[in-house]
Amino acid sequence: MQSAPRYSRIPVSDAGGMAVHLPVVDIGPEPRKLAVIAGIHGDEPSPILLVDRLVVALRDLPLTAGIRVVAAANPPALMQRARWSNWDDEDMNRVGDGGGGPALTRRLAATLCDVVAGCELAINLHNFVMRTPLLAIQPPGQSAERHARHQRYIQALDPHVVWVFGSAPEDIKIFNSSIDAAMEQRGVDVMAVEMADLPELDEPLMRRAIAGLLRLAVLTGCVAPEAALTPPPKHNAVFVHRHIIRAPGAGIFEPIAPLGGTIETGEVVGQLIPLERPGDRVLVTAPVGGWLIQRLGQRFVRPGDMIATVGIVIP
Ligand SMILES: [Zn+2]
């Protein structure tokens, strides 16, 4: 049995004569239970590739409930291939449900919250510029019941790393301004998932992500368990707090430490080739020990850009 995707466009705004729509894809019968979102940040192509693979995989499965895919959640930012569009310079991931504001990014956020309402779970997909394994986010401030559900989602996704947000009042304040928090307010559980940028999103990571999404489709009752033949989960996720290492200056970053391994305090992560003083390399070292969970490849960096993160393992 085949489940044909149904493509539609939800009107968002008439921006000075140019109509802006939120494109959605629905697969499977009502009721809708799972939403998968990509493209909130316009410079993150990996999630768009992933949802394309997901829709192709779902076409061949007998679905028992509906899955709604929003592949291009922020069309103006995607057109500009920028994190946010310069029409209003607002980060769609950070405006909650838009708060009724007239700016286009806020209207898009409000529409996105509307189109996922009624789903049990929404997966909010992002990619870092840094090389990143499949990484799920554990947000702060969850009730015991919500926390237990989140652990089930993490088990089903089977990521390499779980980034556990801090639970200080400042961390909770940051999370509460997110679109994830706004969707949670509407009764939708949200799991944010990060991965590597193109072209570093390799086939094993892609396969692991697709298998995880299909298991989440089973968990939410959208796909019968026997229909989704995915590789068995590895369950080797490491739960970490994240310590960010930023570029000390402008130049080309060259990685040295291997990704995914342990790193000691003071160990060299890589070096910065300065723009104006070739030969005068600056070593970048880890200020704390842990797992090197994310790291740039060879890239231009500006002062303050994220170049690596050390995951401090939570026992
Ligand atoms: Zn993002």
Model confidence at 227, pLDDT cuts 50, 70, 90, reads confident
Per-residue pLDDT, 93 = 96
Mean pLDDT of the region 59-68: 95
CA of 71 to the centre of ligand 1 (A): 13
CA of 266 to the centre of ligand 1 (A): 29
User: 169-215 pLDDT, tens per residue?
Assistant: 999 999 999 999 999 999 999 999 999 999 889 999 999 999 999 99
CA of 69 to the centre of ligand 1 (A): 17
In the block, residue with structure tokens 């939410």: 220
CA of 126 to the centre of ligand 1 (A): 4
Model confidence at 14, pLDDT cuts 50, 70, 90, reads confident
CA of 41 to the centre of ligand 1 (A): 5
Please state the length of the chain.
315
Per-residue pLDDT, 18 = 81
Superfamily of domain 6-236: Zn peptidases (3.40.630.10)
* Residues 80/93, Cβ–Cβ less than 8 Å: no
Distances (CA, A) of 103 to 86, 90, 95, 107: 11, 8, 11, 6
Per-residue pLDDT, 17 = 78
Cross-strand partners of 274: 251
The Cα–Cα gap between 305 and 251 comes to 11
The Cα–Cα gap between 19 and 85 comes to 16
Q: What is the 3-state secondary structure (H, E, C) of the chain?
A: CCCCCEEEEEEEEEECCEEEEEEEEEECCCCEEEEEECCCCCCCCHHHHHHHHHHHHHHCCCECCEEEEECCCCHHHHHCCCCCCCCCCCCHHHCCCCCCCCCHHHHHHHHHHHHHCCCCEEEEEEECCCECCCEEEECCCCCHHHHHHHHHHHHHHCCCEEEECCCCHHHHHHHHCCHHHHHHHCCCEEEEEEECCCCCCCHHHHHHHHHHHHHHHHHCCCECCCCCCCCCCCCCCEEEEEEEEECCCCEEEEECCCCCCEECCCCEEEEEEECCCCCCCEEEECCCCEEEEEECCCEEECCCCEEEEEEEECC
Model confidence at 3, pLDDT cuts 50, 70, 90, reads confident
CA of 197 to the centre of ligand 1 (A): 10
Per-residue pLDDT, 139 = 95
* Residues 63/28, Cβ–Cβ less than 8 Å: yes
Sequence-distant (≥ 6) Cβ neighbours of residue 283 within 8 angstroms: 268, 271
Domain ranges of the chain: 6-236, 239-313
CA of 62 to the centre of ligand 1 (A): 31
CA of 246 to the centre of ligand 1 (A): 18
Residue 111 structure tokens: 């529409």
What kind of fold does domain 239-313 have according to CATH?
OB fold (Dihydrolipoamide Acetyltransferase, E2P) (2.40.50)
CA of 64 to the centre of ligand 1 (A): 31
Model confidence at 226, pLDDT cuts 50, 70, 90, reads confident
The Cα–Cα gap between 283 and 212 comes to 37
Whether the upstream peptide bond of residue 287 has omega within 30° of 0, thus cis, is: no
| Average confidence score pLDDT of the chain | 94
Per-residue pLDDT, 2 = 63
CA of 40 to the centre of ligand 1 (A): 7
Model confidence at 294, pLDDT cuts 50, 70, 90, reads very high
* Residues 184/99, Cβ–Cβ less than 8 Å: no
Task: Count Cα neighbours of 279 within 13 Å in the Cβ-side half-sphere.
Answer: 0
CA of 279 to the centre of ligand 1 (A): 35
Q: Does residue 290 carry a pLDDT above 90? A: yes
CA of 208 to the centre of ligand 1 (A): 20
CA of 277 to the centre of ligand 1 (A): 33
Q: Does residue 260 carry a pLDDT above 70? A: yes
Per-residue pLDDT, 1 = 52
Per-residue pLDDT, 58 = 95
CA of 86 to the centre of ligand 1 (A): 16
CA of 180 to the centre of ligand 1 (A): 12
CA of 280 to the centre of ligand 1 (A): 34
50 closest CA partner among 180, 215, 207, 161: 207
CA of 77 to the centre of ligand 1 (A): 11
Q: Does residue 253 carry a pLDDT above 90? A: yes
Task: Count Cα neighbours of 188 within 13 Å in the Cβ-side half-sphere.
Answer: 28
For the whole prediction, is pTM greater than 0.75? yes
User: 65-114 pLDDT, tens per residue?
Assistant: 999 999 999 999 999 999 999 999 999 999 999 999 989 999 999 999 99
CA of 128 to the centre of ligand 1 (A): 7
Residues having C-beta closer than 5 Å to ion ligand 1: 41, 44, 126
CA of 42 to the centre of ligand 1 (A): 8
Distances (CA, A) of 221 to 121, 125, 185, 214: 11, 20, 22, 11
Neighbours of 105 (CB within 10 A): 24
Q: Does residue 16 carry a pLDDT above 80? A: no
Per-residue pLDDT, 229 = 77
Residue 216 structure tokens: 């989440």
* Residues 161/237, Cβ–Cβ less than 8 Å: yes
